[in-house]
Structure formats: structure tokens, C-alpha cells
């Protein structure tokens, strides 16, 4: 599939179609957007990526697609939060929030990275 020049153009918030589809869990749409050349690690105006949106909402199939397309696991938003932190903050990192079974977004991430407030995934309740 040929790359569409405007595929990474975002809305006023900077959110791209890939970020929105990922956050909503539309794995088929995500796969097609990536195949058309969408940047897997594009971020909106606040620094939120498609991987963070998918992770935060527990969409593992989308997370796998994004990781397979080379999304940067440790990309942080303007507060320093990563996809792993987004997942663990909503209980999508396995038992106990982030320290149970290893979710897809944690496989290559650095869970000790702190946010601007000093918290990290390693501080999640067990």
C-alpha cells in the first residue's frame, strides 16, 4: 500500500488517526494505517502516542501491532509518563497493576523511568 502524504496530519490537538484508532482499540484500522505508512510513534500536542493510548485502555492486539511497527516503548508525554505507566495506572499490566504477568508494552520498556512527579511503574501497588 502506498504511503499517503497526509496520513500523519493531526487534528488541532495533534492526535492522528493512528492515535485515535489505537486508543479506541481498532486493531484492523491500526494495521491498515501502519501499512499505509503512518508513523508508529507519532505523538499529539501533549506527547501522548498511539502506544500509550492503546496501553492505557488495555488493547493488547493494538499494542502488538504498534510494537511490531517499531513504536518507541519509552516515549514519554509532557508529564514524563510512558505507555507502561499508562497501562499500569489503569490496571492493564497484569496482576497488581504492573508487576504481575509481563504485558506487551513492558517487554522492552524501562519500568523504573520516573515521571515529572517522581513516580514510576515500579511504584504501583502489588
3-state DSSP call for residue 124? coil
pLDDT (mean) for 55-63: 92
User: 113: phi > 0 → left, psi -120 to 50 → alpha, else beta; which?
Assistant: beta
pLDDT grade for 2, boundaries at 50, 70 and 90: low
Tens of pLDDT along 71-118?
Answer: 998 888 888 888 888 777 666 654 323 333 344 444 555 544 454 455
The mean predicted confidence, pLDDT, of the chain is: 75
How many angstroms separate the CA atoms of 96 and 71, rounded?
25
Higher per-residue confidence, 32 vs 9: 32
**Digit-coded pLDDT (tens) for 17-26:** 999 999 999 9
Amino acid at each position: 500500500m502506498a504511503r499517503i502524504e497526509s496520513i500523519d496530519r493531526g487534528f488541532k490537538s495533534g492526535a492522528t488517526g493512528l492515535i485515535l484508532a489505537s486508543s479506541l482499540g481498532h486493531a484492523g484500522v491500526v494495521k491498515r494505517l501502519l501499512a499505509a505508512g503512518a508513523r508508529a510513534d507519532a505523538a499529539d500536542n501533549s506527547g501522548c502516542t498511539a502506544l500509550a493510548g492503546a496501553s492505557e485502555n488495555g488493547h493488547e492486539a493494538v499494542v502488538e501491532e504498534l510494537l511490531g511497527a517499531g513504536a518507541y516503548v519509552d516515549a514519554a508525554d509532557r508529564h514524563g509518563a510512558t505507555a507502561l505507566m499508562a497501562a499500569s495506572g489503569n490496571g492493564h499490566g497484569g496482576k497488581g497493576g504492573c508487576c504481575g504477568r509481563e504485558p506487551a508494552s513492558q517487554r522492552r520498556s524501562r519500568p523504573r523511568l520516573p515521571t515529572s512527579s517522581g513516580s514510576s511503574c515500579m511504584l504501583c501497588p502489588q
